[in-house]
Amino acid sequence: MLSKNIARLQELSRKPYFTLGDVAQNFSLQPASARVLCSRYVRQGLLVRFKNNIYTTAWKWESLTRQDLFKIANVLQVPSYISLMTALAYYDVTTQAQNNYQESVCLKRSIAYNVREAVFSYVKLQNRYYGDFIKKDGVFIATKEKAFLDAAYLFSFGKYKFDVDSLDMKKLGLKKLKSLLKVYPEKTKETVKRLCGI
């Protein structure tokens, strides 16, 4: 029985993650029974739970790429997009991002999900500062200028720490930064001008 179930889990683990609904469908189970099955397999170490209803297999977990982790970060809280130092590292603007630490900004609530050795961190932004992200390779990610502004905005209000000296400011488009900066508070504008010399 277990080997048959493992084969079904193998099918599900072709993707970086799957939902409780996927398990129910794949195993021909009612949602309540699928939840019991998933809980048992999490306890047995066969499944890794990201949050309620979102899972991957233990063996898939070991081979997840940075891109896979970004996709998972996008679905753990919707809407959200990859930003801050995580996005700046993706664009090679900094070398200081931590491995297995995915930073996103969101509209709902600030929260962090600790999953084994990985962290999925979310910082809530007001609607007016949420935006200027793109979909790249199936992932919602801030433009490099917006990732920097998200960090600078939070930093200017003492809500975020980042190593300014690790940033290669020459890789940011100053014209775009100036354009995006218009909606931000004076405190953030002053911080950005000090950091970028604009």
Class of domain 2-62: mainly alpha
- What is the spatial distance between Cα 102 and Cα 20, in angstroms, rounded to a whole number? 23
Query: How many Cβ atoms are within 10 Å of 32's Cβ, its own excluded?
Result: 10
In sequence order, the β-bridge partners of residue 112 are 121
Residue with tokens 């003492």: 158
Q: What is the pLDDT along the chain (198 residues), one digit of tens a residue?
A: 667 888 999 999 999 999 999 999 999 999 999 999 999 999 999 999 999 899 999 999 999 999 999 999 999 999 999 999 999 999 999 988 777 899 999 999 999 999 999 999 999 999 999 999 999 999 999 999 999 999 999 999 999 988 888 999 999 999 999 999 999 999 999 999 998 877
- 157, 192 contact by CB (below 8 A): no
How much is the pTM? 0.93
Omega prior to 31 cis, within 30 of 0: no
> What is the β-pairing status of strands 18-19 and 111-115?
unpaired
pLDDT at 99: 79
- What is the spatial distance between Cα 104 and Cα 93, in angstroms, rounded to a whole number? 17
Q: Which two tokens stand for residue 50?
A: 């990201």
pLDDT at 49: 97
Q: With CA atoms as reference, report the closest residue to 163 among 171, 172, 174, 152.
A: 152
* SS3 sequence of the chain: CHHHHHHHHHHHCCCCCEEHHHHHHHCCCCHHHHHHHHHHHHHCCCEEEEECCEEEEHHHHHCCCHHHHHHHHHHHCCCEEECHHHHHHHCCCCCCCCCCEEEEEECCCCEEEEECCEEEEEEECCHHHCCCEEEECCEEEECHHHHHHHHHHHHHCCCCCCCHHHCCHHHCCHHHHHHHHCCCCHHHHHHHHHHHCC
pLDDT at 97: 73
Show me where the domains of the chain are located.
2-62, 66-196
Distances (CA, A) of 156 to 55, 90, 114, 130, 159: 36, 23, 27, 17, 8
pLDDT at 1: 60
